[in-house]
């Protein structure tokens, strides 16, 4: 497969998809982690200058998005009735 670096639009679209999928996790910790990890990874990889490395990172990102989409469904199917303390208003 040709190692073509992704365009800016593609990268932004992937990032937005990851953040959107993160919001769909019913588990507080996984939701926060997905959001934070995606943001940190994209920030770190912004500096990647050579095309093959950027292409590889983009492909990896897309794989992670697929995993996240599947798992968001699985987690919501088995979400516990009681919410996490962190999701409730402070008493």
Partner 1 sequence: MALSRRLLPLLRRGGCLSASASPARALSMAAVPADADQEEAVTVKGVRISGRPLYMDMQATTPVDPRVLDAMLPFYLSRYGNPHSRTHLYGWESDAAVEEARARVASLVGADPREIFFTSGATECNNIAVKGVMRFYRDRRRHVITTQTEHKCVLDSCRYLQQEGFEVTYLPVRPDGLVDVAQLADAIRPDTGLVSVMAVNNEIGVVQPLEEIGRICREKGVPFHTDAAQALGKIPIDVNQMGIGLMSLSAHKIYGPKGVGALYLRRRPRIRVEPQMSGGGQERGIRSGTVPTPLVVGFGAACEIAAKEMDYDHRRATTLQKRLLDGIRGQVDDVVINGSMEHRYPGNLNLSFAYVEGESLLMGLKEVAVSSGSACTSASLEPSYVLRALGVEEDMAHTSIRFGIGRFTTEEEVDRATELTVHQVKKLRDMSPLYEMAKAGIDIKSIQWAQH
Please identify which residue in 29, 50, 52, 53 interacts with partner 1, judged by CB under 8 A. 29
Residue 38: exposed, middle, or buried by beta-carbon count in 10 A (0-12, 13-18, 19+)?
buried
Q: Compare residues 4 and 66 and give the one whose CB is closer to partner 1.
A: 66
Q: Does 39 bind partner 1 (CB under 8 A)?
A: no
Rounded Cα gap, residues 22 and 33, in angstroms: 8
Nearest approach, Cβ of 65 to partner 1 (angstroms)?
11
Q: Does 16 bind partner 1 (CB under 8 A)?
A: no
């Amino acid at each position: 497969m040709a190692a073509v670096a992704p365009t800016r639009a593609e990268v932004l679209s992937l990032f937005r998809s990851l953040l959107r999928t993160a919001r769909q996790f019913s588990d507080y910790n996984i939701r926060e982690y997905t959001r934070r990890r995606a943001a940190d990874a994209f920030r770190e990889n912004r500096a990647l200058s050579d095309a093959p490395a950027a292409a590889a990172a983009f492909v990896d990102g897309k794989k992670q998005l697929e995993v996240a989409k599947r798992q968001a469904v699985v987690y919501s199917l088995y979400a516990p009735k009681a919410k996490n303390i962190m999701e409730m208003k402070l008493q």
